[in-house]
Amino acid sequence: MNRAESPLRASCPPALIDALRARFGERFTTSPAIREHHGKDESAFPIAPPDAVVFPQSTDEAVEIVKRCAAHNTNIIPYGVGTSLEGHVLAIHGGICMDMSRMNSILAVNVDDLDCTVQAGVTRKQLNQHLQHTGLFFPIDPGADATLAGMAATRASGTNAVRYGTMRENVLGLTVVMADGRIIKTGGRSRKSAAGYDLTRLFVGSEGTLGLITEVTLRLYPQPEAVSAATCTFPSVDAAVCTVIQTIQLGVPIARCELLDALTIKAVNNHSKLGLREAPMLFCEFHGTAASVAEQAKTVQTIAKEQGGMDFEWATKQEERTRLWQARHDAYPACLRLKPGGRAMSTDVCVPISRLAECIADTNKDVQASPLQMALFGHVGDGNFHLAIMIDPNNPQDLEESERINHRVVARALAMGGTCTGEHGIGFGKLDFLDAEHGDAVMVMQAIKQSLDPQNLFNRGKVVRYAG
Amino acid sequence: MNRAESPLRASCPPALIDALRARFGERFTTSPAIREHHGKDESAFPIAPPDAVVFPQSTDEAVEIVKRCAAHNTNIIPYGVGTSLEGHVLAIHGGICMDMSRMNSILAVNVDDLDCTVQAGVTRKQLNQHLQHTGLFFPIDPGADATLAGMAATRASGTNAVRYGTMRENVLGLTVVMADGRIIKTGGRSRKSAAGYDLTRLFVGSEGTLGLITEVTLRLYPQPEAVSAATCTFPSVDAAVCTVIQTIQLGVPIARCELLDALTIKAVNNHSKLGLREAPMLFCEFHGTAASVAEQAKTVQTIAKEQGGMDFEWATKQEERTRLWQARHDAYPACLRLKPGGRAMSTDVCVPISRLAECIADTNKDVQASPLQMALFGHVGDGNFHLAIMIDPNNPQDLEESERINHRVVARALAMGGTCTGEHGIGFGKLDFLDAEHGDAVMVMQAIKQSLDPQNLFNRGKVVRYAG
C-alpha cells in the first residue's frame, strides 16, 4: 500500500494549520522539504509526507496539539528520528507529524536506583554519553541512534537483548498524552509492581497508536567490571547457529551473540574497512567480573571449536570493541551499499531457538533460488534474524520478489511457533502478518484501540485496522 | 468491605444453576462446605462464598461456562488454590466460582527452547517436580504452592525475582477465554516479539477481570551448575538493608536476597524447628558456575562484614538449602502461629532501593508505636517488603489499627516513588490505593475493562471499579 492508494487520505483542515502556525510560530512548518523528510523511514515504502510538522517542547504543549487535532479529527503521527522499518511514521492518511526532537532533556538519573527519566526525544547514544561517568549504562541498542520514546513505542531491542531484555523489560514507566488530552503516568520507579493493569507494557510496542509518549523512565545497569568481545568464523551458518543454541541452553549469560553471513561480512568489510574473512561469523560479547568473563569465553570457545569454529579474535580494548560493534550496527547501511542507489527490504522473524538452524537453512534455500541479493544477519541468541533484501524500489519485479521472500520467511517462522517481527514492529507493512500470527487476538487489540482512541487520532492505519 | 455490606450482591439465577448442574453433573456443586472453602483466601477478609462452584476440564468447557454465565449476566470468579492476599477470589458480588484445579496437565516441555506450556491449574511445585530430570526449573516462587495461572493473574513474584524477574518477565503467552466466549492466544514461543499490543502483559496482573486464563506458556531456566545459600545476622535491619543495596548497585547477579527481622526469625524458629539467632538476618542464594558462585559469595560477604554482618552460615547441600528456603516460605504461616486463632494482615509495598532503608526505618517506628505485633520480612533485593500484622479478625480495634498501619506504609511508599503492591495485587482490598498510586491512569484501566468485558462478567469488583 502506498499513500496514493489510500482511500482514507484526507487533507488537514486549513483552520487547524492556521491555528497551529499562530500558536507555535517557527516550531510549526508546512515546508515541503521538512514534510518530505518526515514522510519517510528506513523502509523501502514510498514517501508519504504529513501535512505539517510541529515541534512541541513540553508535555503540556503536546496536550495542546492533541486537543487541537482532536477538535479537527486530524491524524497525529509521533516522530522520533525516522529510523523505523515498517512505515511507522509515514503519513499514509495525512495529518500532523509531532516531531519530539526538541523534547531532549535528561530529566533525572538516579544512580543509586539504577534508573533514569528522559524526555521523548532523547536518543540512546545521548543517554549513554550522559551516563558515561556514572558507572551505569543503558543496554538496548537498535542499530540506529533512535529516540528512547521511539524505541519504547516499537518495543525495540538489538544486540544486548539476549542478556538485558528488550524495551519491554527495561521501561519502568511512561508519561503519555491520551486522545482526550489527559496526561497519565503508567508506572513509578519501583522495580516491580502488581498494582493494576500493566499500562506500561501496553504502550511499549503500541507504535504511537494509543497515545503519545512524552517521557520515559528506564532501567539502567552497572557498567560491567570486565568486557570481552570475540569474533569467530564458522564453516557454515548452521555450525554458527548450533554454537549459539548450545550456549543459550547451557545458561551462559552471554551479553551479545550476533550472526553475520558471508555476504554481510563482505558488506561490513567494505563499509567499515575491516579485513574479516568472508565466511559465516559470530560476534560475541561477555560481561561480568574478570573471572566470570574469562570463564564464559572459555565455555563458548569450547563449544565453537566442536562446531568447527576457527580464527578466534579477541577484542578486550574499548576502541577495538567499539569498532567491531559499530561495524555490526552498520550492517544494514553496509548492505545498502552493495546495490548503489538501491534500498533494502528487511525481514525480521524470530523463532524458538530449537528451530533456528532449520529456519535459517530453509531461508538460505530461498536466498539461493532468488535473483535478488540478500544478506543474513541477526540476534541469533534470541532466535531473531534479518534478511536485508537489496532492491531497486522503482522496479516492480524487485518489489514483488522481495515481498514473496518476506511472505515465505514469515510463514515459515509462524509455522515454527515464531513471530513475524522480533523487533521492527507492524507499522502498516505487516498488518496482514499480524492477522496470520494472532488470529482473533487482533480483535482484542482493535477493541483496545477503539476504547482508548475512539476518533482514531493516533497514527492511523498502523498496527490495527480501525477506521475510527 | 465485606459481602454483607455489598450493595451489588445479586443472587445467581436458578435457571443458570439448573443448567450448569445438568451439564456438569458431579463437577458442579452448591454444597455449603465447598462454597465456603472457595469464598476465602489467605487474607483476613470475611468469607464471601460464591453461589456455586464448577470444575471445567478443558478450555472448551470453560467457554461453555462463560457463555452460560454471560447469558444470565452472572459474575465468574476464576479460582486456583485460594492463596491470594487481597480478597481476589472472594465472591463479594456472588456468582459462579470456576475452580481450575482439574485442568492440571503439563501440555508440553520444550527442553531445547527452555519453555513449557501448562494448563491453568498446574501448581509451581508440580511443574518443578515434573522438570526435575530435565535440567531445567521454573524460578518464580510465591510462598504458597499457587497455580501458575493464578500466579500469572496476580503478577506474582517471590524470592527469585531479583535475578529472574516476576511473572511479567516469564510468561511467553496465554490462552484466554474472553467475555464473548472467544478463545485467544496472546503469544507464541519466540523469546521476543514486536507484533502488536502486548496482550500477554495485559492479562498478566489483570486478576481474572479481563478474561479467563486456561493455559500458560512459561520461560524455563537451566538448573545452575552450582548453588550456594547463606544466612548472615546483622546488628540492625538498617545494616542488613545497606548490604543489599550495595550488592544490587554493584551488579552482583544474586539469585535471592531476603530480609527477616528478629520477630520473623523467632516465628520461623518456632515453626520450622530452626535455631537461628533472633536478630535481623539476610537469607541469600547464589546461582552460576562454581567459580562465579564463589566469587559472588565473597563479594557479598565482604560488603556484609563492613556493615557488621556476622555468623555467616553456608548451605551448599540441597537438603540444607531446601530446609532454609522452606522456612523462609513458611514465614507467613509461622507468623500466624505467634497469635493462635488470629489472622495476619500483610502489607506489600515496594520502593526504589535507594529509599528502602529509610522506608523500613520509618515503618519500624510505626511498628514500635503500635499495640499490635508485626513481623517484617521481604524481597529486599527488589525493594519489596511485607509487614505481617497479627490481628484478631473479630476485634474491630485490631482491624482498624492494622488498616491504619497499612495506610501509613502505603502512603510512605507512594511518596517515595514506590507502589502499594509489589506482588500481592489489588483484589478489592487495595482499590483506593490504586487510585492514589495511578491517578487518571485508573480511568484508562476502566476503559480497557469496559471494552473487553462490557457486562462486567469477570471477577466483579476487583482491580477496577466498573459497574458493567
B466 pLDDT band, cuts 50/70/90, is confident
Query: Does the pLDDT value for residue A461 go beyond 70?
Result: yes
B190/A421 touch (CB, cutoff 8 Å), yes or no: no
The pLDDT assigned to A466 comes to 82
Chain B residues with beta carbon closer than 8 angstroms to that of A444: 178, 184, 199, 452
The closest alpha carbon to B374, from B365, B432, B274, B353, belongs to B365
Q: Which fold has domain A226-333?
A: Alpha-Beta Plaits (3.30.70)
Q: How many C-beta atoms surround the C-beta of residue B275 within 10 A?
A: 6
Q: Give the nearest partner residue to B445 out of A197, A289, A421, using CB atoms.
A: A197
CA distance A341 to chain B (A): 29
Query: Does the pLDDT value for residue A211 go beyond 60?
Result: yes
Q: Backbone phi, then psi, for A310, in 5-degree steps?
A: -150, 180
Q: Give the nearest partner residue to B202 out of A202, A248, A440, using CB atoms.
A: A202
Chain B residues with beta carbon closer than 8 angstroms to that of A452: 444, 447-448
The pLDDT assigned to A6 comes to 39
Chain A residues with beta carbon closer than 8 angstroms to that of B354: 110, 112-113
Sequence-ordered strand ranges (E) for B197-280: 212-219, 221-222, 226-233, 256-260
> Which helix (H) or strand (E) is A218 found in, with range?
strand A212-219
A426/B195 touch (CB, cutoff 8 Å), yes or no: yes
Q: Give the nearest partner residue to A383 out of B178, B190, B253, using CB atoms.
A: B190
B463/A156 touch (CB, cutoff 8 Å), yes or no: no
CA-to-CA dists, residue B61 to A125, B21, B23, B212, angstroms: 52, 13, 10, 12
* B339-460 belongs to CATH 3.40.50.300: no
B169/A166 touch (CB, cutoff 8 Å), yes or no: no
Same fold yes or no, A106-222 and A336-424: no
Query: Does the pLDDT value for residue B361 go beyond 50?
Result: yes
CA distance B275 to chain A (A): 33
A184/B444 touch (CB, cutoff 8 Å), yes or no: yes
Contact between A389 and A372 (Cβ < 8 Å): yes
- The CATH classification of domain A336-424, taken from the options 3.40.50.720, 1.20.1250.30, 3.40.50.460, 3.30.70.2740: 3.30.70.2740
Chain B residue with minimal CA distance to A170? B169
Contact residues for A132 (Cβ-Cβ < 8 A; gap 6+): none
Query: Does the pLDDT value for residue A418 go beyond 90?
Result: yes
Chain B residue with minimal CA distance to A448? B448
d(CA A95, CA A10): 8
The pLDDT assigned to B8 comes to 42
The pLDDT assigned to A8 comes to 42
Q: Give the nearest partner residue to A425 out of B112, B194, B199, using CB atoms.
A: B194
CA-to-CA dists, residue A246 to A185, A254, A302, angstroms: 41, 12, 11
Best residue of A180, A191, A245 to probe chain B, by most B CBs closer than 10 Å: A191
A222/B249 touch (CB, cutoff 8 Å), yes or no: yes
Q: Give the nearest partner residue to A184 out of B168, B351, B441, using CB atoms.
A: B441
Query: Does the pLDDT value for residue A11 go beyond 90?
Result: no
CA distance A447 to chain B (A): 6
User: Which residues partner with B213 through β-bridges?
Assistant: B176
Q: Backbone phi, then psi, for B107, in 5-degree steps?
A: -80, -35
Chain B residues with beta carbon closer than 8 angstroms to that of A436: none
Per-residue pLDDT, averaged over A255-260, amounts to 96
Q: Give the nearest partner residue to B452 out of A194, A447, A463, using CB atoms.
A: A447
d(CA A366, CA A356): 15
Best residue of A176, A193, A248 to probe chain B, by most B CBs closer than 10 Å: A193
Chain A residues with beta carbon closer than 8 angstroms to that of B434: 195-196
Best residue of B84, B171, B190, B209 to probe chain A, by most A CBs closer than 10 Å: B190
Tally C-beta pairs within 8 A across A and B. Answer: 286
Chain A residue with minimal CA distance to B177? A441
Q: Give the nearest partner residue to A188 out of B185, B291, B418, using CB atoms.
A: B418
Query: Does the pLDDT value for residue A51 go beyond 50?
Result: yes
Query: Does the pLDDT value for residue B312 go beyond 90?
Result: no
Per-residue pLDDT, averaged over B159-169, amounts to 96
- The ipTM assigned to this model is 0.96
| C-alpha cell belonging to residue A445 | 487489540
Query: Does the pLDDT value for residue B311 go beyond 90?
Result: no
Give the tens place of pLDDT for each residue, B96-114.
999 999 999 999 999 999 9
A197/B248 touch (CB, cutoff 8 Å), yes or no: no
A2 pLDDT band, cuts 50/70/90, is very low
B269 pLDDT band, cuts 50/70/90, is very high
Residue percentage of chain B with pLDDT more than 90? 89
Cα-only R_g, chain A = 22
Give the tens place of pLDDT for each residue, A320-351.
999 889 889 889 889 988 888 889 999 999 99
A194/B289 touch (CB, cutoff 8 Å), yes or no: no
> Which helix (H) or strand (E) is B346 found in, with range?
strand B343-346
Best residue of B191, B246, B420 to probe chain A, by most A CBs closer than 10 Å: B191
B196/A447 touch (CB, cutoff 8 Å), yes or no: no
Q: Give the nearest partner residue to A155 out of B155, B178, B194, using CB atoms.
A: B194
Chain A residue with minimal CA distance to B450? A451
Chain A residues with beta carbon closer than 8 angstroms to that of B440: 182-184
Per-residue pLDDT, averaged over B442-453, amounts to 98
CA distance B158 to chain A (A): 11
The pLDDT assigned to A5 comes to 39
Q: How many degrees, rounded to 5, is the angle at CA A386 between CA A384 and CA A390?
A: 175
Query: Does the pLDDT value for residue B162 go beyond 90?
Result: yes
Query: Does the pLDDT value for residue A4 go beyond 70?
Result: no
The pLDDT assigned to B1 comes to 38
Q: Give the nearest partner residue to A195 out of B245, B421, B440, using CB atoms.
A: B421
The closest alpha carbon to B217, from B139, B143, B134, B109, belongs to B109
The closest alpha carbon to B271, from B332, B342, B346, belongs to B332
Contact between A139 and A221 (Cβ < 8 Å): yes
A201/B196 touch (CB, cutoff 8 Å), yes or no: no
The closest alpha carbon to B419, from B331, B342, B350, belongs to B350
Q: Give the nearest partner residue to A422 out of B156, B182, B190, using CB atoms.
A: B190
Chain B residues with beta carbon closer than 8 angstroms to that of A413: 190
A448/B448 touch (CB, cutoff 8 Å), yes or no: yes
Chain A residues with beta carbon closer than 8 angstroms to that of B425: 194-195
Query: Does the pLDDT value for residue A149 go beyond 70?
Result: yes
A202/B198 touch (CB, cutoff 8 Å), yes or no: yes
Query: Does the pLDDT value for residue A174 go beyond 60?
Result: yes
Contact residues for A123 (Cβ-Cβ < 8 A; gap 6+): A81, A104, A145, A146, A147, A148
B419/A195 touch (CB, cutoff 8 Å), yes or no: yes
Q: Give the nearest partner residue to A289 out of B295, B382, B434, using CB atoms.
A: B295
Domain A106-222: assigned CATH number: 3.30.465.10
Query: Does the pLDDT value for residue B59 go beyond 60?
Result: yes
Mean predicted lDDT score pLDDT of chain B: 94
A10 pLDDT band, cuts 50/70/90, is low
CA distance B21 to chain A (A): 30
What residue segments make up the domains of chain B, in order of their start? Answer: 3-102, 106-222, 226-333, 339-460
Distance of CA A417 to the CA centre of its chain: 21
CA distance B195 to chain A (A): 6
Class of the domain covering B3-102: alpha beta
Query: Identity (one letter) of the amino acid at A60?
Result: D
Give the tens place of pLDDT for each residue, B66-86.
999 999 999 999 999 999 999
The pLDDT assigned to B10 comes to 57
CA distance A154 to chain B (A): 7
Best residue of A159, A197, A247, A435 to probe chain B, by most B CBs closer than 10 Å: A197
Q: Give the nearest partner residue to B198 out of A201, A250, A348, using CB atoms.
A: A201
Mean predicted lDDT score pLDDT of chain A: 94
CA distance B283 to chain A (A): 20
Give the tens place of pLDDT for each residue, A375-391.
999 999 999 999 999 99
Per-residue pLDDT, averaged over B288-312, amounts to 95
